[in-house]
Structure 1
Amino acid sequence: MSVTRAVQPVLDPKVGTRTAKFAHPALLLAGIVLVALNMRACLAAVSPMVAEIQHTFGLSAAASGLITTVPVLFQGVGAPLTPRLTRRFGTERVVLGAVLALGAGVLLRVLPSVATLYLGCVVIGVAIAVLNVSMPGLVKREFPHRAAMMTGVYSTTMLVGATMAAALSVPLEHALGGGWQASLGAWSVLALVAGLAWLPQVLKARQEATVPVRVAPAAVPQRPAVSPWKSPLAWQISAFMGISSLLVYTLVAWMPTILADHGMPRGEAGLVFAFSNLVQVVGAFLVPLAAGRMTRQRGLALAMAGLNAAGIAWLLLAPVSGAWASATVLGLAQGGSLGLGLAFIVLRTDSVLGAARLGGMSQAVGYLVAAAGPVGGGALHQLTGGWDATLVVMLALSAVAAVAGWGAGRDRTV
């Protein structure tokens, strides 16, 4: 495969020793963590509030489902646009704009209108898409020798944010006394805090842009860029991410219902689901760390697909008696698949621009595929009157993810 290598500028010795005022690594790490906390929190916060939103606006069940489906769809739509934005405005400014747009979308979503409810969902989806694509390239650039470890840090932080939001939504509603609007609107404050924490990186980038550079005389000639959309490896990575995400979102939508329909009390079903989300944090942190120590990640990809299949099979054969075991296995598989998919973006490219392009493609394909999961799972349930058909299809898709992951784990670059 063709590999594009950018010409690297070399600082003039007379001016190249200048250090950016805002370049402290602790500020960068704090900014990454705070941005990552926002990337799932505003989505997870909605789940406990859906019934109240439905009652407020008189929405049907299908219309209420769009509150979670629309952001996922627009993550797929917005992802391919991000590489152009980062090339034109710089990654730092794009991340700042996206996190502030995310906060604005959160506020739009709580205005007293159905139109602004869905418009806010659109803005949130596009903003998350931009962050999803920007962050792997930024991590690759700023932590070239620890990219896999930092991928684990921010993917873990994303899941911590989601868990925190799901757990705090109802207590926030009671504490603030403003109903679901106050509870969901409060998450805009977290976006504002993240924007303020990220501001030093924008100032650092502006300062570095004023430092004169000269190009080394023996510059490496550039090869023609190859679009990731024409790369079989990029399609394998996209398929692995897409199917893994579909499995996640299908279970996010239906796992508590599946357990309840088989006789488990709804309160316990909610606890099982929350526990599964908590276990995802472990997989999201450990799997990218392991991936970074390997030249090939085929075994990891097969392990994640196998764990997904095992957890789904357990849910199919023993939905109540095996619920906690299934939740544990699925949590490890889902968190690990997320971390491995993001690690593929970093490990299968050799430049920041390449990571942005691959991230744009893989996440566009991934989220468009994932959006079909909750709808398809519900349709199969309605058609057959049970959940067995849905789970069997998910088992088959786990096998497809294993095949895609086997290809994505090769020691190649896009």
Structure 2
Amino acid sequence: MSVTRTQQALGVPVAPVRSKLAHPALLLTGIVLVALNMRACLAAVSPMVGEIQRTFGLSSTVSGLITTVPVLFQGLGAPLTPRLTRRFGAERVVLGAVLVLGAGVLLRVLPSVAALYLGCVVIGVAIAVLNVSMPGLVKREFPERAAAMTGVYSTTMLVGATLAAGSSVPLEHALGGGWRASLGAWSLLALVAAVAWLPQVLRARQERGALAGGPAGGLTGGVVQPAAKPIAGIWRIPLAWQISLFMGISSLMVYTLVAWMPTILADHGMSRDQSGLVFAFSNLVQVAGAFLVPLLAGRMTRQRGLAVLMAVLNGVGIAGLLIAPVSGAWVAAAVLGVAQGGSLGLGLAFIVLRTDSAAGAAQLGGMSQAVGYLIAAVGPVGAGALHQLTGGWTAVLVVLLVLAAVVAVAGWGAGRNRTL
């Protein structure tokens, strides 16, 4: 596209000359393939933990870190991302993060305990960068449909996780290389996503070249706009903390049940095969919640009722596990699936609905996901420790019920019709 210095100086809207690189189908394909990677390599490792434990002779506690470390480093890596996107551009940052993610997947399968955990760290940091970058990109590229597009990529993340969890063991048998071949194969998905995302990097380079020599700004729909300023004092704004707590405690409940729900059901007398099916069903229902709830959120000026509804559904599902863990397991799994998927989609939608620029969305995403994943990392370990201390799961489920009430309070604040 061509932009003259006079037009830039006067702030005159510029009609861009569209190139093939700017085609919406290319952008949507890139977003979907990147999103598929954002949970797949985490979900793929869960069925393999037992084999990894036997390979290296790890204790149960140490092997549990295989899933905890990436979550922890998603929280630690999130605040760095807005600086990276401001310096290098969101497109290049996403490309780099996808390539780093693929490298982390390969590092994790090397024949060394140190490489295993270092790979988990690299994967966590790469996912953190993608978690924070994507809401800003969606806000910038789809300003009128940001909530709906958030539903698309949050759904795609869960689809990727479901496919990875379900195909890890079949891949192990098909490839014949044990758990290393099965887990390492997911690096190919990262490579495919990187190739699909490359047109966005080239498009951004073309746009920067067209704007060379003009004042700092960005393009939205062909109009030159001033660069958005960062949100001042975001860590002191109550609304930002309400969104962060909604995401964080919701994620804590998700990761706690991801780690322990099948065990809770089995400890109450359900067969392990059936408990696994119930858990898989709950994950499948999450896909519907993650898609539909952001769509509803985008049609509302306030999302208070929707946020409280997700918290209530979480509470109902947890109460089902507490009162009737075997006879009511399928109903509890369905309710929890809607609540957990919906909470994920709504938390991501809050990032784009409560900000008025891509830079603001990236900044809020950095804060909310830093707080969120640091809180979430406590869940599985804390639940395990409480179970060991009390000898049962009642105390764990009661704590989760209390946390569902806290989520309702945070969601009531986060759902206000305000922007940062």
Q: TM tier, shorter chain?
A: over 0.9
Determine the structure 1 residue equivalent to 2:341.
335
Q: Equivalent of 1:256, from 235, 249, 262?
A: 262
Give the Å deviation of 1:319: 0.2
- How much has 1:143 moved relative to structure 2? 0.5
Selected match of 1:355 from 340, 356, 361: 361
Could you tell me which amino acid in structure 1 is paired with residue 318 of structure 2?
Answer: I
8 A contact 1:228–1:234 mirrored in 2: yes
Q: Does structure 2 retain, via aligned residues, the 8 Å contact 1:33–1:154?
A: yes
Distance between the aligned counterparts of 1:25 and 1:222, measured in 2? 24
Please state whether the residue corresponding to 1:349 is helix, strand or coil. coil
- C-alpha distance 15-387 of structure 1, shift in aligned 2 (>3 A): closer
Q: CA deviation at 1:226?
A: 1.2
Work out the CA distance in 2 between the residues paired with 1:210 and 1:279: 45
Q: Which moved more, 1:11-20 or 1:255-264?
A: 11-20
**Whole-angstrom CA distance in 1 between matches of 2:57 and 2:135:** 40
**Partner letter of residue 22 of structure 2?**
A
Q: Does 2:123 match 1:119? A: no
Q: Which residue of 2 aligns with 1:307?
A: 313
**TM-score when scaled to structure 2?**
0.94
Identity of aligned residues (%): 79
Q: 1:45 to 1:404 in 2, by over 3 A?
A: same
* 2:86 partner amino acid: R
Which amino acid counterpart does residue 76 of structure 1 have in structure 2?
Answer: G
For residues 3-402 of structure 1, the aligned pairs below 5 Å read 17-212=16-211, 225-402=231-408
Q: Do 1:297 and 1:410's aligned partners in 2 also have CA atoms closer than 8 Å?
A: yes
Unaligned runs of 5+ in 2: 1-6, 218-223
Q: CA offset at residue 219 of structure 1?
A: 8.6
Write the deviation string for residues 229-266 of structure 1: whole angstroms up to 9, x where unpaired: 11100000000000000000000000000000000000
Which residue is equivalent to 1:5? none
SS of 2:355's partner is: coil
Q: State the 1:212 CA deviation.
A: 3.2
CA distance in 1 between counterparts of 2:231 and 2:272 reads 53
Contact 1:256 1:266 in 2 (8 A): yes
Q: CA offset at residue 76 of structure 1?
A: 0.1
- Structure 2 counterpart of 1:191, one-letter code: A
Q: d(CA) in 2 for partners of 1:31 and 1:267? A: 37
Distance between the aligned counterparts of 1:10 and 1:156, measured in 2?
A: 42
Q: Structure 2 CA distance, aligned partners of 1:375 and 1:28?
A: 39
**Is the alpha carbon distance of 1:30 and 1:224 closer, same or farther for their aligned partners in structure 2, counting shifts above 3 Å?**
closer
Matches of 1:267 and 1:324, distance apart in 2: 14
SS of the counterpart of 2:374?
helix
Q: CA deviation at 1:17?
A: 3.2
Structure 1: where are the runs of 5+ without partners? 1-7
One-letter amino acid of the structure 2 residue matched with residue 105 of structure 1: G
Is contact 1:15–1:211 with CA below 8 Å preserved after alignment? Answer: no
Q: Distance in 1 between matches of 2:294 and 2:407?
A: 17
Per-residue Cα deviation, 1:293-317 (whole angstroms, up to 9, x for no partner): 0010000000000000000000000
Shift in alpha-carbon separation, 1:187–1:143, aligned structure 2, 3 A? same
> Measured at CA, do residues 290 and 10 of structure 1 come closer, stay the same or move farther in structure 2, by a change above 3 Å?
farther
Q: Normalising to structure 1: TM-score of the pair?
A: 0.95
Q: Which runs of 4+ in 1 moved over 2 A?
A: 8-21, 212-216, 218-225
Residue type at the aligned position of 2:102: G
Q: Deviations over 1:142-175 (max 9, x none)?
A: 0011101000000000000000000000000000
Please list the CA deviations of residues 90-123 of structure 1 after superposition, one character each: whole Å capped at 9, or x if unmatched. Answer: 0000000000100000000000000000000000
Q: For 1:220 and 1:107, how far apart are their aligned partners in 2?
A: 41
